């Protein structure tokens, strides 16, 4: 059995491949998938608040304690990565 890994999105009950799939029409498939996490700056506010609530131990508060503080930290890092040298 040949294995191939592709990326896809799930919309309206349908898995839509993001990569070209070279298979004959009607080919039967067995699909195993892994849900990819969104990057933190793309999460809705409610999910960011939930993540802050779940943080514990020595990492809690490292980037801030509110959504605004964490967003500002991420933006400052993004700006430093985008600098031209």
Where the chain has pLDDT below 50, the residues are: none
- Per-residue pLDDT at 50: 78
Cα dihedral value 46, 48, 54, 55, nearest 10: -160
> What's the rounded Cα separation, in Å, for the pair 52 and 67?
8
> What's the rounded Cα separation, in Å, for the pair 73 and 66?
11
Q: What is the pTM of this model?
A: 0.39
Q: How far is CA 77 from CA 1, 23, 47, 63, 64, in A?
A: 44, 43, 21, 11, 13
Q: Burial of 70 by CB count in 10 Å (0-12 exposed, 13-18 middle, 19+ buried)?
A: buried
Bridge partners, 16 (sequence order): 9
- Per-residue pLDDT at 37: 67
- Per-residue pLDDT at 25: 93
> What's the rounded Cα separation, in Å, for the pair 50 and 62?
16
């Amino acid at each position: 059995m040949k294995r191939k890994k592709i990326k896809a999105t799930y919309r309206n009950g349908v898995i839509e491949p993001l990569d070209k799939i070279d298979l004959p029409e009607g080919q039967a498939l067995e699909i195993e998938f892994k849900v990819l996490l969104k990057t933190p700056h793309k999460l809705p506010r409610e999910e960011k608040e939930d993540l802050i609530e779940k943080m514990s131990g020595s990492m809690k508060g490292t980037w801030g304690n509110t959504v605004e503080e964490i967003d500002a930290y991420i933006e400052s890092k993004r700006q430093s990565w985008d600098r031209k040298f």
